[in-house]
Amino acid sequence: MGNRERNGYVLTDDATRVDVDRVHRWLDEESYWATGRSHELVSRSIAGSVPYSVLAGDEQVAFARVVTDGATFAWVCDVFVDQAHRGRGLGGWLVDSIVEDMTARGILRLLLATRDAHEVYRRSGFTPLEGASRYMELDRRPTRNAILAHPDLAHPDLARP
């Protein structure tokens, strides 16, 4: 993909441009799905993915990563836009660019999960999962209940095993 520019921002898939410390802070402290994720785990997850960064100068202001086999399937995850830069269309630009990049690579099936940003992803072409009953999972994340929006069970000490 290289670099794309828009309204003073640069979007890149250059892994060397990822501010891992900042991404870790966002995920660990500000996301509902990755609260408590260690720095080492965030670093490994980025290393095992195709990372996308939106930069304002040298400052990382948005991030997403794609887990893919490089041929048939991609999972878009950890999409995050810094609070100070929200409302400027960066999330949509980021996701649209990921869809375009994965399509250019020949990957025609992309999945993601969201609790509250359905409209952002719908504008990028995502639809509710057809045949969801065919999918199964083994989910041992301590944040599972927060992700699924079970407010009474969102605390990790109350999470189901």
Domain residue limits, the chain: 3-122+135-158
**Enclosing H/E stretch for 145:** helix 144-147
Alpha carbons within 13 A on the beta-carbon side of 60: 23
Judge whether 53 and 92 are in contact, CB under 8 Å. Answer: no
The stretch 65-78 carries a mean pLDDT of 96
Model confidence over 93-103: pLDDT tens digits? 999 999 999 99
- pLDDT value, residue 29: 92
* Helix, coil or strand: residue 111: strand
- Which positions ≥6 away from 16 have C-beta within 8 Å? none
Average pLDDT of the chain? Answer: 88
Structure letter (DSSP) for residue 113: -
Six-digit token string for 83? 């609070």
CATH 3.40.630.30 matches 3-122+135-158 = yes
